[in-house]
Amino acid sequence: MTDESYKGDILAIDDTPANLRLLVRILTNQGYKIRAVPSGKLALSGIHQALPDLILLDIMMPEMDGYEVCTHLKADEVTRNIPVIFISAIDELLDKVKAFAVGGIDYITKPFQVEEVLARVETHLALQRLQKSVQTQNQELAKTNQELATTNQQLAQTNQEVTEILQELKATQEELIQSEKMAALGQLIAGVAHEINTPLGVIRSSAGNMAKFLSQTIEKLPALFQSLSVQEGEAFLVLLQKSLQKESVLSSREERQFKRTLINQLEAEEIENAESLADNLVDMGIYNEIDGFLSLLKRADSEHILEVAYKLSSLERNTKKINNATDRASKVVFALKNYARYDSSGEMMSANLTEGIETVLTLYQNQFKQGVEVIKNYAQLPPVTCYPDELNQVWTNLIHNGLQAMDNRGTLIVDASQENQQVKISISDSGKGIPPEIKSKIFEPFFTTKPPGEGSGLGLHIVKKIVDKHSGKIEVDSVPGKTTFTVFLPLSNPLLNKQAIDDVQLITAGE
């Protein structure tokens, strides 16, 4: 196999010979070098002799299962950075979650789909190559910078003419470094942690919630249904179905109005715990037409019934969150893979901006519980012609920055209104504010006040590029105790700024 045709060294670990033969055939035909090993112990004993670029690991194996093999690999300094893709006939959510928890980066379900195997292998090998390339380039840049610093120090000791030349050279060097950072793969990996870890966190959180709800709810269902009459059982199913149909986004004022109406209606029916029941009903998205559920609400265990219904409906909502997070992560990986030849195939569409904001707020729900009060002031907005996914990235970055500025404790205010032919979205936090001396720099690429390793300095730069792409503008107003980022977007956008589109494609591909 020539260097040109070599695509990667893959280690496949599976106790089923037929599976190994299939993987060998699929991947060899595509130019990969693949080694097949029938057991985890055998693989661990020989892996140091020739480290693979990627490992395909079966879960269900005798003596040592895939989870244990992966745990050994991640505990070893030499092998911990080798990406592991789990393969298994088990398609249970908990098994997938465990696979990610022990260090797996992906999961392929048997029987194999050739296209899926090739796509996932190609994606993760491409990401691995990018990471290695970044490390090499960073080392070269560090060496170059050290050499330049030494040269500058020597030149500084010469006469004024040489000093002037040095100043020009230094300015040129800074521009060169900046240009290299924008073009090099370093900025790609800097953004992966931000753009991949967030949806992975959502998946872990949602999966954990689902597992918790299942463990707490399933065992209660038989006894609950046995206690219900036929009519009450039908009412319970209608209640559950109505909760699953919840789509509208309510303001705090609307929620309070619905709660008061429900409390009055429940009290008129002489139902105890009217206030608690009304809270649960609104949380489930049931605001009116509760006559069909009165038989359930009048029961002594009505709160327990609503709790079970809410948890069951939450399973559906958490599944949607996982799907959305998976789609988002896939788009980022695809952008990394196509960095140099990034080509946006998306088209503008009419979208409800408050729905996008609510989606992002939902993803941060656990962080809000740590001590953040969220105040939402939404006016009735018309649809906006835009790229919804990219604007969701804007809301995500601004909300994330707000939470960090408050150390996850304070008040977050989201305002949405219309001014003439523009939509105005403001996100405010009660953090310590932005110092006046750096306010003009916050949208510059790579500018960050965070410690090394905690931020790439690209977040707000990308936000501005996306807003520019939509022919909009972003403003910031900051005093101690309140910082507000305001985004203005035109309602319709038939003519786009082509240069802004090109810029945001390059930057988001790198993020």
327: number of Cβ within 10 Å: 11
Are residues 417 and 356 part of one domain? yes
Q: Identify the CA nearest to 468 among candidates 440, 507, 436.
A: 507
Are residues 351 and 278 part of one domain? no
Are residues 383 and 245 part of one domain? no
Q: Which of residues 254, 285, 318 is at a domain's end?
A: 318
CATH number at residue 104: 3.40.50.2300
Q: Identify the CA nearest to 431 among candidates 408, 460, 450, 414.
A: 408
Are residues 353 and 301 part of one domain? no
Are residues 493 and 350 part of one domain? yes
Q: Which of residues 112, 139, 157 is at a domain's end?
A: 112
Is residue 472 included in any domain, yes or no?
Answer: yes
* 254 half-sphere exposure, CB direction, 13 A CA radius: 15
Are residues 389 and 289 part of one domain? no
76: number of Cβ within 10 Å: 14
Are residues 502 and 428 part of one domain? yes
The neighbouring-strand residues paired with 93 are none
Q: Containing domain of residue 265, as a range?
A: 206-318
The values of phi and psi at residue 508, to 5°, are -70, -30
Measured between its terminal Cα atoms, the distance across the chain in Å is 34
Is residue 330 included in any domain, yes or no?
Answer: no
The values of phi and psi at residue 321, to 5°, are -60, -45
Output DSSP code: residue 269: T
Are residues 472 and 383 part of one domain? yes
Are residues 355 and 294 part of one domain? no
d(C-alpha 408, C-alpha 449), whole Å: 17
Are residues 496 and 362 part of one domain? yes
Whether residue 336 contacts residue 126, with contact meaning beta carbons closer than 8 Å, is answered with yes
**Beta strands at 473-479 and 482-490: parallel, antiparallel or unpaired:** antiparallel
d(C-alpha 414, C-alpha 221), whole Å: 39
Q: Which of residues 269, 285, 318 is at a domain's end?
A: 318
Residue matched to tokens 């899926």: 116
Is residue 424 included in any domain, yes or no?
Answer: yes
Q: Identify the CA nearest to 86 among candidates 63, 62, 69.
A: 69
Residue matched to tokens 């004024």: 160
Is residue 350 included in any domain, yes or no?
Answer: yes
Torsion sign over Cα 293, 211, 314, 372: positive
Is residue 347 included in any domain, yes or no?
Answer: yes
d(C-alpha 125, C-alpha 9), whole Å: 9
How does pLDDT run along the chain (511 residues), one tens digit per residue?
A: 455 567 889 999 999 999 999 999 999 998 899 999 999 999 999 999 999 999 999 999 988 999 999 999 999 999 999 999 999 887 777 888 898 999 999 999 888 888 989 999 999 998 888 888 888 888 888 888 888 888 888 888 777 776 677 667 444 433 433 333 333 334 334 334 555 666 777 677 777 766 666 666 666 777 777 777 778 777 778 777 777 776 666 778 887 888 888 888 788 877 878 888 888 777 777 777 777 777 777 787 777 877 777 777 777 777 877 887 787 666 455 434 433 333 344 678 888 899 888 888 877 777 788 889 999 999 999 999 988 878 888 888 888 889 888 998 999 999 999 988 899 999 999 999 999 888 888 888 777 776 665 555 677 888 888 899 899 999 999 999 999 999 999 987 654 444 445 555 555 444 4
Output DSSP code: residue 406: T
Is residue 332 included in any domain, yes or no?
Answer: no
Is residue 187 included in any domain, yes or no?
Answer: no
Q: Number of folded domains in the chain?
A: 3
Are residues 499 and 352 part of one domain? yes
Is residue 465 included in any domain, yes or no?
Answer: yes
Are residues 100 and 21 part of one domain? yes
CATH number at residue 415: 3.30.565.10
